[in-house]
Amino acid sequence: MSPRRTPSGGRVNRLRTIRFTFDGTAYTGHQGDTLASALLANGVSLFGRSFKYHRPRGVLTSGVDEPNALVTVLRGEVREPNIPATMVEIHDGLTAVSQNRFPSLAYDVSAVNQLGGKFISAGFYYKTFMGPVIGPLKGTRFWMLCEKIIRRAAGLGRAGHAPDPSRYERMNAFCDVLVVGSGPAGLAAAHEAAQSGAQVILAELDPCFGGSANWSGETIDGEPAATWASDVVGELKTHDNVRLLKRTTVWGYYDGNTLAAVERVSDHKDTPAKGAPRHRHWTIRARKVVLATGAFERPLVFPGNDRPGVMMASAAMRYANQYGVLPGEKIAVLANNDSAYRAMAALAKAGARIIAIADLRQDVSAACRKLANDAGAELLTGHAVISTEGGKKLSGVKLAPFSATSGVSTGNARDIGADCLIVSGGWSPTIHLASQAGARPVWSDDLQAFLPPETGKGWIGAGAFNGNFSTAEAISEGFAAGRNAAGQPALETTALPDIEPAPLDPNPAPVFEIKAKGKAFVDFQHDVTADDVRLAHLEGFVSVEHLKRYTTLGMATDQGKGSNVPGLAIMAEALGKPIPEVGTTRFRPPYAPVSVGALAAERFGDLKPERLTPMHDWHLENGATMYSAGLWFRPMIYGGPGETIEQAYVREAQATRETAGIVDVSTLGKIAVQGPDAAEFLDRVYSNVFSTLPVGKARYGLMLREDGLVFDDGTTWRLGEHDFLMTTTTANAGKVMQHLEYFLDVVWPDLKVHLTSVTDQWAGAAIGGPKAREILASCVTGTKVDNEALPFMGIVHGEISGAPVMICRLSFSGEMAFEVYSGAGHGTHVWEALIEAGRPFDMVSYGLEALGTMRIEKGHVTGAEIDGRTSARDLHLGWMLSKKKPFIGSAMMDREGLSASGRLELVGLISLDNRPLSGGAHIVEEVDAANPHGSLGHITAACFSPALGKYIALALVSGGKARYGKRAHISDPLRNRFGPVEIVSHHFFDPEGKRMHG
Amino acid sequence: MLITCPYCGPRDVSEFAYQGDGNRTRPDPASTDSEAWNAYVYDRLNPAGIHNEIWQHAGGCRVHLAVVRDTLTHEISSVRFAREHGTPTHSRRNHGAKA
Ligand SMILES: [Zn+2]
């Protein structure tokens, strides 16, 4: 028998023993235990060390609000830190370790931090990492060094580095009624909503439904409350319109009644079921939400309130009633309200000795007196605990007469031996989700707590969430909320269940703090004391939002579930204002920590979409090195054995200019623009005129944005009177489509035009070079391809190897070139036929590097130059701006700023030191490597030009043309590349275009 | 956030692409009123509250919608076809005015 396990009682399965380890020591517990209850049962009191002062800490609560007993759970190589021991279900093989201690939990060297109390006070970081420091380690660098050391000492658990092998998944769900919380209120609501036929989801964060029914010790209509709860759950299970989710924390309440929840599917198992994820993320859209989230018991602030053995009264009751565990044998009580008496009675019944009750109130009810008397406890009204004794566990408390009005002790203290002090400072309804949904909390003087407003737009509250703490109220409100949420009329009378014992008065005395000497913690997890809050006030912090950030109160993983109201109360007192005037902070998602894995779920790694051209496999089989361009994969080079990238692209470009080369251009965006107004539409969206384009011809077009800057370029082919095929750059295909659709749908709905994205329907191969026409002529049937039949920018239809093709004579490489388009399904077939036809001519296939090289030699622009900041004139494309018609961007393109002198203009650069240039390098007049400055512009694209035999680049340079023939320098301090260049025209090669016109 | 597309019904916001402030009127294409063009291209209201917006059902039927949304709550009070109603009337606050 474990030292603290009661001989009987509780809802754990005593027939099933579970073995686990904590800090390397083997322990046993029972099925139904949490790590906290199992360790308490084994007599463990020390669970961890605190954040800043490394103070020993025990377990304070029994649930999701636990600030102290945070552990790291180890699963193989994977560490999951900062899990409340109260939320870990034990299972065989569970391995957990304590946190923030060195070298061990019992002997921690950093605990000396607590001797120098002022060392890490409020605003420590803000104060410390400021101001001048003299000496070699001056400035920020010194403070960064300090911070590293302090961060190692302070902090919570350590995250691991091993990849997480677990699987996570996401679910979307819809329901009429989502009930959050399955205590008596939530169960009643789910029951009523389910009866009406509504689709219901009931979410419970604990492993079993029932909430307080599992530990209240009450009877409902003569049955134990837990039996009542399991009966209701049993009935809910028979409804196929009900989905029951346990171990599911609803953590976010978003607009449109969309809620986020995480279900811990496998954490409680030694091996997850086959195919089961570790966590499942739920996105739930609910017509109505019933918030039955209960309330948290608040700690009191007094010196030594963090000593292991100090525990919330309700938690102690839960350990006794639900887990059959006594948190102590000699128990003292500190309370400002009646609820602690019920807990005390439960502990007494379970076999603990109640030594004394210090009640902050001057008088208590007869019901409380009777409970104290029955438990054999000494009742000291108007008394407080002014300090606690003991090291790593509580050995006693100091009691003294106390004035609730002044908050200080008024008489001689008395020592009492106790190994557990149960505390109740009143209750705070769990209004987090309502607050996330935008509800402004309302202060209740009676309950000394923030209550939710009566009802929200999408939610209805019930039970303790509403500040109605009795089980009878919970059930009646739950019934009403469930009917209301399901759209059922309210019943005139409801038969309320009979609850035993009768409820006690829930209203606390308005006391939050006992002022005495010593560290009194408000936020246990972040080690924020009452004095820290007062110091922040002295330093001028007035707003509660600022106070929170300055002291970090409520900013730890527990999100201030217990510390929020006591912190506000202390702040309010310092400001001399009532609490509601100080206000409260708004709660934000997540309500409780959420695993990143659950948020990402399946959306990572291989599931990124990929776009492959029809000829993709051919490229791979023929030695292409692929790289990704957006979602597309395109050949970079077709490298031979031992070839460098530069050698490969130089060879490919050279061969193309000498004989012929072929490149896959299927990725170009293609949009069918069709309809009687198609030509008019193109005139409006392009800067140049398309209505004059004859059928069977193509034209290069330029698009501006509304602000007058260049948007995209490409050729558009007139296939028929009302039928155009527009091509766009690969990168902008989607944006151009959206741009066109916007104007057509919103601005010019009168135009009769239809747009269809046909990018994926066409395969494209561009074949260029002196022998390109001969190659084409040898394989195309059904059309001639000579200069007469197919002049520059002409279009013909024919067949290659039996597949219909459309051929346009246009050139990006600057060579005599043709773009051959076929249906995507024929892409590889046509491509292979072209390769075959090119074989006698030693045609090469070339990749993007060679394509880029040839376009740089020709001075053609791409996305590197059309960067959203350049105008048409900057790119020497002013000739494309029609003066005959307005077009998108025409009104703004002549603005002062866009025609000012000194704008960056497109130029060419030639490396004068025969070393490579690279994109992003700056152009300067004089090199100053130590203090780079005076940029004239930057390089947009660079290559080795086989045609020139030099390293060249395109650049955007202030002054542009005026600098042709002048020397300048590259300044690239990051890559340590400096050197002379000559600024030249961007038309490096064949400026007259003789080659492509043939 | 749900947007009820008149064609497709209520759909998650992830299916839609924001296409800008609906409080803008494109000047006549031939207009040389640079103030009006400047206002159209650059001036935006950025209200905390009710806002007229254009959304495209990009992951659905591709139609453009004139949506009235509360930027504080994401509540959507009206969804209409943008083409039928044009961009919502030019209810521009006089924020560019010099006093
Ligand atoms: Zn739609």
Q: Cβ B86–A746 below 8 Å, yes or no?
A: yes
Calculate the CA dihedral of residues A204, A210, A216, A220 and round it to 10 degrees. Answer: 150
- Kindly tell me the number of DSSP H helices and DSSP E strands found in chain A: 24, 51
Give the pLDDT of residue A106.
73
Q: What residues in B contact A746, CB-CB < 8 Å?
A: 19, 54, 64, 82-83, 86-87
Q: Is the peptide bond before A103 cis (omega within 30 degrees of 0)?
A: yes
Please judge whether B56 and A741 are an interchain contact, meaning their C-beta atoms are less than 8 angstroms apart.
Answer: yes
Question: Does residue B25 fall inside a structural domain?
Answer: yes
Report how far residue A215's alpha carbon sits from residue A317's, in angstroms, rounded to the nearest whole number.
7
CA angle A624/A628/A630 to nearest 5° reads 150
Prediction pTM value: 0.85
> Does the pLDDT at position A438 exceed 70?
yes
Option in A256, A285, A747 nearest B26 (CB): A747
Return the CA Rg of chain A.
38
Which residues of B are less than 8 Å from A742 in CB distance? Answer: 19, 54, 56, 64
Report pLDDT for A151. Answer: 58
Range scoring the smallest mean pLDDT among A751-765, A873-887, B73-87:
B73-87
Mean per-residue pLDDT for A638-653?
96
Name the helix (H) or strand (E) containing A662.
strand A661-664
Residue B93 lies in a domain: no
Length of chain A: 998
Tell me whether residues A886 and B29 touch, CB distance under 8 A: yes
> A570: alpha, beta or left, given left = phi > 0 and alpha = psi -120 to 50?
alpha
Cα–Cα distance between B93 and B99 in angstroms, integer? 14
pLDDT at residue A135 in the model? 52
Q: Chain B closest CA to A755's CA: distance in Å? A: 11
For A127, the 3-state DSSP assignment is helix
User: How far from chain centre, in Å, is Cα A947?
Assistant: 50
Task: For residue B64, give the nearest of A746, A890, A895 by CB distance.
Answer: A746
Is residue A634 within 8 Å of A848, Cβ to Cβ?
yes
Predicted pLDDT of residue A621: 97
Q: Contact at 8 Å (CB) between A753 and A674?
A: yes
d(CA A398, CA A413): 6
Packing angle between helix A544-551 and helix A530-538, nearest 10 degrees? Answer: 120
Secondary structure string (H, E, C) spanning A368-390 = HHHHHHHCCCEEEECEEEEEEEE
Cα-to-centroid distance, B6 and ligand 1 (Å): 7
In eight-state DSSP terms, residue A578 is -
Residue A678 Cα to ligand 1 midpoint, Å, equals 24
pLDDT at position A127 is 61
In the sheet with A94-98, reading across from the earlier edge strand, the strands are A25-31, A13-22, A94-98, A70-75, A78-84
Q: Which of A241-255, A677-691, A802-816, B75-89 has the lowest mean pLDDT?
A: B75-89
The pair of three-digit structure tokens given for residue A517, joined into one six-digit string: 């000497």
Place of tokens 């949904």: A437
DSSP string, A800-818: ETTEEEEEE---SSSSSEE
Nearest to B41 among A258, A706, A749 (CB): A706
Question: Which pLDDT score, from 0 to 100, does residue A116 have?
Answer: 47
pLDDT at residue A545 is higher than 80: yes
pLDDT in tens, A126-169: 565 555 555 555 455 566 666 666 555 556 788 888 988 889 99
Residue B87 lies in a domain: no
Given a contact cutoff of 8 angstroms between Cβ atoms, the answer to whether A453 and A441 are in contact is yes
Measured CA distances, B14 to A594, B21, B61 (Å): 22, 18, 14
H-assigned helices in A256-410: 313-323, 339-349, 366-374
The answer to whether residue B95 sits within a structural domain is no
Arithmetic mean of pLDDT, A929-946: 95
pLDDT at position A584: 79
By Cβ distance, the residue of A684, A742, A749 closest to B19 is A742
Instruction: Find, in chain A, the residue whose alpha carbon is nearest to that of B1.
Output: A256
Q: How far apart are CA A94 and CA A947, in angstroms?
A: 69
pLDDT band (50, 70, 90) for residue A841: very high
Cβ <8 Å between A892 and B63 = no
User: pLDDT confidence of A558, banded at 50, 70, 90?
Assistant: confident
Q: Which of A143-152, A174-183, A584-593, B42-51 has the highest mean pLDDT?
A: A174-183
- What per-residue confidence (pLDDT) applies to B92? 37
What pLDDT band is residue B97 in, cutting at 50, 70 and 90? Answer: very low
- Judging contacts by C-beta atoms under 8 Å, the chain A residues touching residue B41 are 706-707, 892
The answer to the question of residue B31 being in a domain is yes
pLDDT, tens digit, for every residue of A353-386?
A: 999 999 999 999 999 999 999 999 999 999 999 9
| Element housing A778 (H / E) | helix A772-779
Window B:20-79, CB contacts with A under 8 Å: 26-27, 29-32, 34, 37, 40-42, 54, 56, 58, 62-64, 73-75
User: Would you say residue B98 has pLDDT above 50?
Assistant: no
Q: Does B91 map to a domain?
A: no
CATH of the domain at B68: 3.30.2270.10
Query: Minimal Cα–Cα distance from A749 to chain B, Å?
Result: 6
Question: What is the domain range of residue B54?
Answer: 2-81
Angstroms from A748 CA to nearest CA on chain B: 8
Cβ pair A886:B56 closer than 8 A: no
List of E strands, A211-362: 219-220, 223-224, 242-245, 248-254, 258-264, 279-291, 295-297, 310-312, 330-335, 353-359
CA of A667 to the centre of ligand 1 (A): 27
CB contact under 8 A, B1 and A256: yes
Segment holding A188, helix H or strand E: helix A184-195
Contact B83 A255 (CB under 8 A): no
A209/A186 Cα distance (integer angstroms): 10
Q: Which positions ≥6 away from A833 have C-beta within 8 Å? A: A779, A800, A801, A803
Report, as an integer, the average pLDDT of A812-831. 96
Q: Which domains are present in chain A?
A: 1-160 (3.10.20.440), 166-297+428-510 (3.50.50.60), 299-425 (3.50.50.60), 511-595 (1.10.10), 616-667+761-853 (3.30.1360.120), 669-760 (3.30.70.1400), 902-998 (2.40.30.110)
- Contact B14/B1 with Cβ under 8 angstroms? no
Give A379-409 pLDDT, tens digit per residue.
Answer: 999 999 999 999 889 999 999 999 998 899 8
Per-residue pLDDT band for A630 (boundaries 50, 70, 90) equals confident
pLDDT in tens, A77-132: 889 999 999 999 999 999 999 987 766 777 766 665 555 445 556 666 556 555 55
Q: How far is B92 from chain A (nearest CA, A)?
A: 19
CB atoms B32 and A892 under 8 Å: no
A571-589 in b/e burial notation, b at 16+ Cβ within 10 A?
A: bbbbbeeebeebbbbebeb
Other residues' Cβ atoms within 10 Å of the Cβ of residue B23: 20
pLDDT in tens, A700-736: 999 999 999 999 999 999 999 999 999 999 999 999 9
Whether residue A923 is predicted with pLDDT greater than 50 in this model: the reply is yes
For an interface test with B, give the residue of A746, A883, A888, A896 to mutate (most B CBs within 10 A). Answer: A746
Distance B13 CA to ligand 1 centre (A): 11
Write down the pLDDT at residue A126. 59
Report how far ligand 1's centroid is from the alpha carbon of A887 (Å).
Answer: 29
Q: What confidence score (pLDDT) does residue A262 get?
A: 98
pLDDT score for A134: 52
Count interface pairs A-B at CB distance under 8 A: 55
In percent, the amount of chain A with pLDDT more than 70 equals 95
Q: Tell me which residue of A879, A574, A864 sits closest to A731, measured CA to CA.
A: A864
Which residues fall within 8 angstroms of residue A76, CB to CB, at 6 or more apart?
A: A162, A165
List pLDDT tens digits, range A18-47: 999 999 999 999 999 999 999 999 999 999
**B62 and A741: CB-CB below 8 Å?**
yes
Residue A428's nearest CA partner among A456, A453, A452, A460 is A452
Determine whether the interchain pair A746/B54 forms a contact, defined as Cβ–Cβ distance below 8 Å.
yes
Q: What is the DSSP letter of A46?
A: -
Q: What is the pLDDT of residues A747-806, one digit of tens each?
A: 999 999 999 999 999 999 999 999 999 999 999 999 999 999 999 999 999 999 999 999
Q: What is the 3-state secondary structure (H, E, C) of A823-882?
A: EHHHHHHHHHHHHHHHHHHCCEECCHHHHHHHHHHHCCCCCCCCCCCCCCCCCCCHHHCC
A750 touches chain B (CB under 8 A): no
Please list, in sequence order, all residues whose beta carbon lies within 8 angstroms of the beta carbon of residue A680, skipping any fewer than 6 positions away.
A691, A751
pLDDT for A926 beyond 60: yes
Q: Please say if the pLDDT value at position A881 is more than 70.
A: yes
Chain A residue closest in CA terms to B40: A706
Query: For residue B34, is it within any domain?
Result: yes
Predicted local confidence at residue A145, as pLDDT? 64
Nearest to A256 among B26, B62, B74 (CB): B74
User: How confident is residue A667, by pLDDT bands cut at 50, 70 and 90?
Assistant: very high
Q: Is residue B22 part of a domain?
A: yes
Q: Show which of residues 207-266 on chain A sit within 8 Å of chain B, judged by CB atoms.
A: 255-256, 258
> Nearest by CB to A255, which of B1, B29, B83?
B1
Question: What Cα–Cα distance (Å) separates residue A492 from each residue in A186, A377, A489, A495?
Answer: 21, 45, 9, 10
pLDDT value at position A14? 95
Q: What angle do CA A239, A244, A248 make, to 5 degrees?
A: 170
- pLDDT of res. A105: 73
For range A946-957, the mean pLDDT: 97
Number of domains in chain B: 1
Contacts of B86 in chain A (CB under 8 A): 746
Q: Using an 8 Å CB-CB cutoff, list chain A residues near B87.
A: 746
Q: Which of A257, A745, A753 to mutate to test the interface with B (most CBs of B within 10 A)?
A: A745
Please give the C-alpha separations between residue A770 and each of A457, A658, A816, A835, A989, in angstroms, as whole numbers. 73, 7, 6, 16, 15
Of A109-118, A410-419, A955-964, minimum mean pLDDT range: A109-118
Two tokens, residue A481: 């909320």
Beta bridge pairs of residue A36: none
CB A772 within 8 A of CB A816: yes
Chain B, nearest residue to A706 by Cα:
B41
Are A382 and A368 spatial neighbours (Cβ–Cβ below 8 Å)? no
- Among A745, A891, A892, the residue with its CB nearest the CB of B64 is A745
Q: How far apart are CA A787 and CA A800, in angstroms?
A: 19
| Helix and strand counts by DSSP (H, E) for chain B | 2, 6
- More reliable by pLDDT, A134 or A503: A503
Query: Residue B96: what pLDDT?
Result: 36
Spatial contact of A465 and A281, defined as CB atoms under 8 Å apart: no
Residue of chain B minimizing CA distance to A436: B73
Q: Which SS3 state, helix, strand or coil, does residue A985 take?
A: coil
Torsions phi, psi of A939, nearest 5?
-80, 135
Tokens of B18: 């924001």
Given a contact cutoff of 8 angstroms between Cβ atoms, the answer to whether A442 and A453 are in contact is yes
Whether chain B has a CB inside 8 Å of the CB on A742: the answer is: yes
Residue A645 carries which side chain, given as an amino acid letter?
I
Give the largest CA-CA distance in chain B.
Answer: 47
Structural contact between residues A872 and A704, judged by C-beta atoms closer than 8 angstroms: yes
Share of chain A above pLDDT 90, in %: 82
- Of A161, A157, A125, A160, nearest to A144 by C-alpha is A125
